Structure 1
Amino acid sequence: MKTKTIIHLRNLILVTILGMSGCSIDPSYYSEVVPETFYDSQTSVWQRFNRPFTHWRWYVASDAARWNMQELGTDEMCLPTRGSDWYNGGVYQQYHYHQFTPQLGDLYNGWYGFSMGVALAWDTMEDIEEHVDFDALGFEPGIRESMKAQQQTLVAYFYKDGLDFFGGVPLYTTTQSEVKGRSTAAETFQFIDSLLDAAIPNLPIKSTLGGMETGSISQAAGAALKAQLYFNANAYIGEDKFTECAQICQDIISGKYGTYALANDWTNIFGFKNETCPEIIWTVPSENSKLETDGGYYSTMHHYNLKNYLGGIDAGANNGYCLTPSLKPSGSVYTEFKLGKPYAKFESADVRKQPYVYTGTEQYKGMFIVGKLVNPLDGGTCLGNREYNGEIITMVDQVAPFKKLGKDYQDVASLPSKISTAEENSGVRLMKRSPMPTYADRLLRYNPDVPIIRLTEIYYMLAECKMRAGDLTEAANLINQVRKRYFANGVDPNPVTAANLDKYRMLDEWMIEFLGEGRRRTDLIRWNAYTTENWWDHSATNDPNKNHFPVHETILSSNNLIKQNDGY
Structure 2
Amino acid sequence: MKTSYILLFLATLTFFSSCTDLTEEPFSQVRPEDYYENKTQVKAALLRVYEHASWAFSSDETLLLLEELSADHLVIAAKGSHWFDQGRFLRYHRHEWTADEPELYAGWNSLFAGVSHCNNMIKDLEMLDYEEIGDGLTEEDRQAHIAEMKILRALFYFHIISLWGDVPISTSVEGTIPDESPRVEVFTWALNEVEDNIDSMPVGTYAETRGRLNRAAAAMLLARYYLNAETWTGNAMYDRCAETSQNLINGMYGSFELDDTFYAPFAFDNATNSREIVFGFPKTFENTGDAQSYWRLYHYDSPAYFGSLGTPANGLGLQPSKVAPVSGTDYDGDFDPTADYDPSSLANLSFEKGLGTPFENYHADDLRKRGFDFEGAIGSKDYQQIQGMFLMGLQQSPITGNTSMASNEYNGSPLVFVDFVCRASEGLSESATDLGEENSGYRLVKRPIYPATFTEGYMNADYPEMRIAEAYFMLAECHIRTGNGSEAANLVNTVLERNFETFNATLHGYQTMDMGDMLKVWGMEFLAEKRRRTDLIRFGKFTESSWWDKETSENKYSVYPYPLRVLSTNPSLSQKDGY
- Common fold: TM-score over 0.5: yes
**How many Å apart are 1:444 and its aligned residue?**
2.5
Q: Is the 8 A contact 2:418 2:441 kept in 1?
A: yes
Deviates more, 1:244-253 or 1:166-175: 166-175
Match of 2:189 among 174, 177, 191: 191
**How many Å apart are 1:358 and its aligned residue?**
3.9
**How many Å apart are 1:306 and its aligned residue?**
0.4
Query: Which residue of 2 is the match for residue 268 of structure 1?
Result: 264
Distance 2:319 2:197 in 1: 40
Local SS of the residue matching 1:440: coil
Query: 1:182 corresponds to which letter in structure 2?
Result: E
Deviates more, 1:121-130 or 1:52-61: 121-130
Matched, 1:505 2:517: yes
**How many Å apart are 1:38 and its aligned residue?**
2.1
Match of 2:283 among 286, 290, 308: 286
- Once the two structures are superposed, what CA deviation does each residue of 1:293-332 show, in whole Å capped at 9, x if it has no partner? 623x011000000001123x21320101111100011311
Distance 2:411 2:389 in 1: 26
Q: Is the 8 A contact 2:265 2:464 kept in 1?
A: yes
Query: 1:66 corresponds to which letter in structure 2?
Result: L
Query: Which residue of 2 is the match for residue 397 of structure 1?
Result: 419
Structure 1 136/377 Cα, relative in aligned 2: closer, same or farther at 3 Å? closer
Query: Which residue of 2 is the match for residue 445 of structure 1?
Result: 458
Query: Which residue of 2 is the match for residue 25 of structure 1?
Result: none
Local SS of the residue matching 1:489: coil
Match of 1:143 among 141, 144, 149: 141
Match of 1:304 among 300, 303, 314: 300
1:408-419 equivalences in 2 (<5 Å): 409=428, 415-419=429-433
Query: 2:365 corresponds to which letter in structure 1?
Result: A
1:349-368 equivalences in 2 (<5 Å): 349-359=365-375, 360-363=381-384, 364-368=386-390
Distance 1:437 1:367 in 2: 13
Distance 1:417 1:254 in 2: 47
1:186-335 equivalences in 2 (<5 Å): 186-206=184-204, 211-276=207-272, 277-292=274-289, 294-295=291-292, 297-311=293-307, 313-330=308-325, 331-335=346-350
1:78-117 equivalences in 2 (<5 Å): 78-117=75-114
Query: Which residue of 2 is the match for residue 5 of structure 1?
Result: 4
Q: Is the 8 A contact 1:286 1:293 kept in 2?
A: no
Matched, 1:558 2:569: yes
Local SS of the residue matching 1:416: coil
Structure 1 404/468 Cα, relative in aligned 2: closer, same or farther at 3 Å? same
**How many Å apart are 1:212 and its aligned residue?**
4.1
Q: Is the 8 A contact 2:450 2:459 kept in 1?
A: no
Deviates more, 1:215-224 or 1:121-130: 121-130
Deviates more, 1:252-261 or 1:333-342: 333-342
- Once the two structures are superposed, what CA deviation does each residue of 1:404-444 show, in whole Å capped at 9, x if it has no partner? 12xxx4xxxxx1111111111110000113x2111321452
Matched, 1:182 2:167: no
Matched, 1:65 2:62: yes
Deviates more, 1:444-453 or 1:174-183: 174-183
Distance 2:131 2:295 in 1: 44
Query: 1:370 corresponds to which letter in structure 2?
Result: M
Q: Is the 8 A contact 2:404 2:414 kept in 1?
A: yes
Query: 1:452 corresponds to which letter in structure 2?
Result: E
Q: How many residues align?
A: 534
Q: Is the 8 A contact 2:321 2:358 kept in 1?
A: yes
Query: Which residue of 1 is the match for residue 468 of structure 2?
Result: 455
Query: Which residue of 1 is the match for residue 343 of structure 2?
Result: none
Query: 1:116 corresponds to which letter in structure 2?
Result: A
**How many Å apart are 1:118 and its aligned residue?**
1.1
Query: Which residue of 2 is the match for residue 23 of structure 1?
Result: none
- Residue ranges of structure 1 left out of the alignment (5+ in a row): 10-27, 410-414
Distance 1:94 1:491 in 2: 42
- Residue ranges of structure 2 left out of the alignment (5+ in a row): 9-24, 326-345, 376-380
Distance 1:467 1:3 in 2: 46
Matched, 1:549 2:560: yes
Query: Which residue of 2 is the match for residue 426 of structure 1?
Result: 440
- Once the two structures are superposed, what CA deviation does each residue of 1:459-498 show, in whole Å capped at 9, x if it has no partner? 0000000010001110110000000100013335634435
Query: 1:517 corresponds to which letter in structure 2?
Result: E
Query: 2:280 corresponds to which letter in structure 1?
Result: T
**How many Å apart are 1:3 and its aligned residue?**
9.0
Q: Is the 8 A contact 2:304 2:397 kept in 1?
A: no
Deviates more, 1:354-363 or 1:56-65: 354-363
Distance 2:402 2:572 in 1: 57
Local SS of the residue matching 2:412: coil
TM-score (norm 2): 0.88
**How many Å apart are 1:401 and its aligned residue?**
1.1
**How many Å apart are 1:160 and its aligned residue?**
1.4
Distance 1:566 1:249 in 2: 35
Local SS of the residue matching 1:343: coil
TM-score (norm 1): 0.90
Query: Which residue of 2 is the match for residue 164 of structure 1?
Result: 162
**How many Å apart are 1:290 and its aligned residue?**
2.1
Structure 1 4/82 Cα, relative in aligned 2: closer, same or farther at 3 Å? closer
Distance 2:174 2:2 in 1: 12
Local SS of the residue matching 1:438: coil
Query: Which residue of 2 is the match for residue 483 of structure 1?
Result: 496
Matched, 1:346 2:346: no
Query: 1:362 corresponds to which letter in structure 2?
Result: Y
